[in-house]
Chain A
Amino acid sequence: SQTIHQWPATLVQPVGSPLSLECTVEGTSNPNLYWYRQAAGRGLQLLFYSVGIGQISSEVPQNLSASRPQDRQFILSSKKLLLSDSGFYLCAWSVFGTGGNVLTFGAGSRLTVL
Chain B
Amino acid sequence: GENVEQHSSTLSVQEGDSAVIKCTYSDSASNYFPWYKQELGKGPQLIIDIRSNVGEKKDQRIAVTLNKTAKHFSLHITETQPEDSAVYFCAASIGNAGNMLTFGGGTRLMVKP
Contact = CB atoms under 8 A, between A and B. Distances in A.
Contact of B43 (A94, A101, A105): A105
Contacts of A104: 46
Contacts of A49: 100
Interface string B26-63: 00000010101000011111100101000000000000
Given A43-B106, A90-B44, A108-B42, A101 B89 contact: no
How many interface residues does chain B have, given as a range? 20 to 34
A108 B87 CA distance: 15
How many interface residues does chain A have, given as a range? 20 to 34
B73 interface: no
A103 B34 CA distance: 9
Interface string A27-47: 000001000000000111010
B96 A43 contact: no
A64 B37 CA distance: 27
Contacts of B98: 51, 96
Interface string A82-114: 000000001010101001111111111010000
Interface centre among A44, A90, A104, A108 (most CB of B within 10 A): A44
The B interface, classified by DSSP as helix, strand, loop or mixed, is loop
Contacts of B32: 100-101
Nearest to A91: B43
Given A43-B105, A44-B89, A102-B49, A32 B99 contact: yes
B113 to A, nearest CB: 23
B25 interface: no
B42 A96 contact: no
Contact of A101 (B36, B101, B104, B105): B101
Interface of A: 6, 32, 42-44, 46, 49, 51, 90, 92, 94, 96, 99-108, 110
